[in-house]
């Protein structure tokens, strides 16, 4: 058994055992088990990744890696000849009590490759060359409640992502269209990148769309800090942002929410219709959920039912059995019943794959018209 799986099993089983013994809420026990045991110390940080070194990337288009997997019916493009690029910022893959992860840790990197890049960034390899940096991700507890230590850890993580984005732009050459994609912690980093490095710059004109999934992206936040990157309102809009947080109708928030409280309404894009109008979209608009981490990588049409944006949350109905391993099922238990945060990409994988190609086609067509 790989070390990362052993770590996940040990932590997850420990959480459940402690919860049973203490008769406490599982989320509260998990929080206590994962909270760093010492104050943030800049002098104790792991070394910063060098983005000139291929080992500092989970995926690069010129090599075989975690960014290459695809459903058998929808193969990846030759990434060395793709018309556009995607910069993907991965979700939390670090389980430990340090404030920031070490990008040279083989277990963390394996978890990133398998549980993030390999099942999320791959949604975009049907149209684009995949770039996915490793970074000194912050401890997950930094995102649940505001603290000076947590903010410092997040700044370290963002500093790496910003440097990786600069390296991405240098590697790919000037003027090429690109997509920004992220999930969870990665979305916190990517939204900040959108505000500080893309909005109001020439890069905004190269941005096809930003897919900011599983974060706390708000309509007002975009309007105030990235006004030239509005919410996408239709399937072929460009220079815009997509976001959703997927839950079931029976979901009840727990004390293990992975986002700090924000009273503003979150942006909710329905990936079945690519609209934000709150209309309920039918399940037959989903060409298939895809779980590339499973033995059966074929799209699973009908696994999820209708979906509707309600008060900033994507309510997904009638989600069937998903191929989740034991650590993942324990994570699902910690997150709460009908919390689909961990599978927000997989449930709508083919929608994402098709929409990325459609938006890129619209972008290229508009560029061609402007150059005439």
- Alpha-carbon distance of 246 to 319, in angstroms, equals 11
Give the model's pLDDT for residue 187: 98
How many independent structural domains does the chain possess? Answer: 1
Q: Cβ distance 168 to 136 under 8 Å?
A: no
- 248 burial level (CB within 10 Å; 0-12, 13-18, 19+): middle
Return the number of other C-beta atoms located less than 10 Å from residue 237's C-beta: 18
> What pLDDT is recorded for position 356?
98
Q: What does the alpha-carbon distance between residue 260 and residue 264 come to, in Å, rounded to a whole number?
A: 12
Angle at 140 between CA 334 and CA 130, to 5 degrees: 105
Among residues 157, 42, 30, 145, the alpha carbon closest in space to that of 95 is found at 30
Residue 31 pLDDT = 72
Residue pointed to by tokens 């399940």: 283
Per the listing, tokens 């500080």 go with 196
Look up the pTM and report it: 0.92
pLDDT tens digits, one per residue of 4-16 = 444 444 444 333 3
CA dist 360 and 238 (Å) reads 8
Alpha-helical runs (H) found in the chain: 3-22, 26-34, 106-112, 148-172, 185-193, 202-206, 219-225, 326-335, 349-371
The two three-digit tokens of residue 203, written as one number? 């890069």
- Report the sign of the C-alpha dihedral through residues 139, 188, 357, 284, in that order: positive
Taking alpha carbons only, the member of 298, 355, 348 closest to residue 319 is 348
Calculate the alpha carbon distances from 353 to 71, 124, 240, 360 in Å: 10, 6, 17, 11
- For residue 9, with 0-12 CB atoms within 10 Å meaning exposed, 13-18 middle and 19 or more buried, which class applies? middle
pLDDT given at position 26: 57
Q: Provide the domain limits for residue 195.
A: 3-371
Closest by CA position to 70, among listed 365, 362, 358, 356: 356
Q: Which two tokens stand for residue 242?
A: 């997509």
* Token pair for 314: 């994507």
Q: Which candidate, 289, 282, 285, places its Cα nearest to that of 303?
A: 289
Q: What is the pLDDT of residue 199?
A: 98
- Per-residue model confidence as pLDDT tens for the chain (372 residues): 444 444 444 444 333 333 332 334 556 666 777 889 899 999 999 999 999 999 999 999 999 999 999 999 999 999 999 999 999 999 999 999 999 999 999 999 999 999 999 999 999 999 999 999 999 999 999 998 889 999 999 999 999 999 999 999 999 988 999 999 999 999 999 999 999 999 999 999 999 999 999 999 999 999 999 999 999 999 999 999 999 999 999 999 876 666 777 889 999 999 999 999 999 999 999 999 999 999 999 999 999 999 999 999 999 999 999 998 888 888 887 788 999 999 999 999 999 999 999 999 999 999 999 988
Say what the pLDDT of residue 17 is: 34
């Amino acid at each position: 058994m790989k070390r990362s799986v052993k770590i996940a099993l040990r932590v997850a089983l420990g959480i459940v055992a402690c919860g049973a013994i203490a008769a406490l809420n599982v989320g509260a026990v998990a929080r206590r088990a994962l909270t760093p045991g010492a104050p943030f110390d800049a002098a104790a940080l792991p070394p910063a990744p060098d983005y000139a070194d291929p080992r500092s990337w989970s995926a690069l288009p010129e090599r075989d890696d975690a960014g290459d997997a695809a459903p058998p019916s929808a193969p990846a493009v030759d990434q060395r000849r793709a018309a556009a690029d995607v910069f993907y910022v991965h979700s939390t893959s670090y389980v430990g009590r340090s404030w920031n992860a070490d990008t040279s840790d083989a277990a963390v990197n394996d978890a990133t490759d398998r549980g993030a890049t390999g099942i999320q960034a791959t949604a975009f390899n049907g149209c684009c060359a995949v770039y996915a940096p490793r970074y000194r991700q912050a401890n997950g507890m930094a995102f649940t409640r505001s603290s000076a230590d947590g903010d410092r850890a997040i700044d370290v993580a963002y500093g790496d992502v910003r440097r990786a984005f600069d390296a991405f732009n240098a590697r790919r050459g000037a003027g090429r269209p690109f997509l920004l994609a992220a999930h969870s912690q990665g979305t916190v980093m990517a939204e900040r990148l959108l505000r500080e490095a893309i909005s109001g710059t020439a890069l905004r004109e190269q941005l096809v769309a930003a897919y900011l999934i599983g974060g706390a992206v708000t309509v007002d936040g975009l309007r105030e800090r990235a006004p030239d990157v509005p919410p996408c309102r239709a399937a072929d809009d460009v220079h815009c942002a997509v976001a959703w947080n997927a839950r079931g109708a029976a979901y009840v928030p727990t004390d293990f929410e992975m986002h700090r409280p924000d009273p503003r309404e979150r942006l909710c894009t329905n990936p079945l219709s690519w609209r934000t109008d709150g209309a309920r979209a039918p399940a037959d608009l989903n060409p298939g959920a895809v779980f590339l981490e499973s033995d059966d990588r074929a799209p699973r049409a009908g696994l999820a039912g209708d979906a509707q944006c309600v008060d900033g949350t994507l309510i997904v109905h009638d989600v069937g059995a998903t191929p989740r391993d034991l650590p993942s099922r324990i994570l699902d238990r910690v997150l709460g019943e009908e919390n689909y945060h961990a599978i927000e990409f997989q449930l709508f994988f083919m929608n994402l794959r098709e929409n990325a190609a459609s938006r890129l086609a619209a972008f290229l067509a508009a560029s061609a018209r402007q150059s005439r």
